[in-house]
Amino acid sequence: MYLESIELYSNITKAAAHLFISQPYLSKVIKQLENELEIKLIQSQGHQTFLTYAGQRYLFYLKEIDMIERQMAKELYLIRSDKKGEITLGINSGLASSILANVLPKFNLEHPEISVKLLENNQNISEQLVASGDIDLAVGMAPILYKDGIASTTIYRDELFLMIPTTSQLYNAEKRGQIIPFEYPISVLDNEPLILTPLEYGIGKTIAQFYELHHMSLNQMITTSTVPTAASLSLSGMGATFVPQTLIHRYLDKECNVYHFHKNKLFSEYIMIYKKDVELSGIALLLYKAFLTK
């Protein structure tokens, strides 16, 4: 920088020599710059040349601009190479509390410059936001509600367990605190009071299909948006519910029975939801792979 050399040597001849240009050429360039800015940038006293206050401030901003440009080039490189950026993930609060702790800390450690923004909503809302492009991805449970504009891929499957409260005729106090095989005929669940998530998608839909398959009547007492809420209401005696294996350990010491279906296994299918016919960004693929390897 011309002004930086003048500031360093306090002499325009030495500054020109440092820059490998002639002193008249340096003086001409500084004069042209002063005319453009309409302000004096240097002043001479004897054999010495100094920056004016305006010259000092001009040099300060030149250095700031240079630093910002270097920072910008570095950041754009990181963004271009998928090492920096942000992504918005939709998920319901119950699911977030059960699986995100197994994924995001490791993802953050491996990709510290990638910011994951969580938007907690019911799955049907997350699906709509993915379809409209307002969020990048969503984690939910199969099956999806909206078929148009979105697609999904299975992340993993989780066995579903039946939680029976003390108010149910199926409750056995001696078998509290353990996971036990469901050895009754499936038909005993016909018309059993249930607390479920919405029947249109996710676990609610899975249970509705299970009841339909076995020609049973579904007696849904309460609809709630999350499994933890359903489990809490079940423990209060309002009805049975179904809980994924990921969450079931929370309730083994509670006043309830936990059954698994050894012959007619039930599974919840966790899925990644994304916009149909749109190529995922590099960052979206990184997060998707993180859920696959959780």
- Domains annotated on the chain, with CATH: 2-80 (1.10.10.10), 86-152+275-292 (3.40.190.10), 155-269 (3.40.190.290)
Residues of the chain with pLDDT below 50 are none
Q: Check residue 263 and give its pLDDT.
A: 63
For 93, list phi and psi in degrees, rounded to 5: -65, -35
Instruction: Name 137's bridge partners.
Output: 89
Q: 206 with 214: CB under 8 angstroms?
A: no
Q: 137 with 130: CB under 8 angstroms?
A: yes
Residues ≥6 apart with Cβ < 8 Å to 37: 54, 58
Q: What does the alpha-carbon distance between residue 267 and residue 250 come to, in Å, rounded to a whole number?
A: 18
Q: 258 with 248: CB under 8 angstroms?
A: yes
Instruction: Name 265's bridge partners.
Output: none
Q: Which residue has the tokens 């306090």?
A: 10
For 136, list phi and psi in degrees, rounded to 5: -85, -45
Q: Check residue 128 and give its pLDDT.
A: 95
Residues ≥6 apart with Cβ < 8 Å to 62: 1, 3
Q: CA dist 202 to 26, 98, 105, 144, 239, Å? A: 74, 15, 26, 7, 19
Q: Containing H/E element for 259?
A: strand 256-260
Instruction: List b or e across 183-203, with b for residues whose CB sees 16 or more CB atoms inside 10 angstroms.
Output: eeebeebeebbbbbbbbebbb
Could you tell me the pTM of the whole model?
A: 0.71
Torsion of CA 106, 111, 117, 119, to 10 degrees: -40
Q: Containing H/E element for 293?
A: none
Tokens of 291: 């859920």
DSSP 240: B
Q: Check residue 180 and give its pLDDT.
A: 92
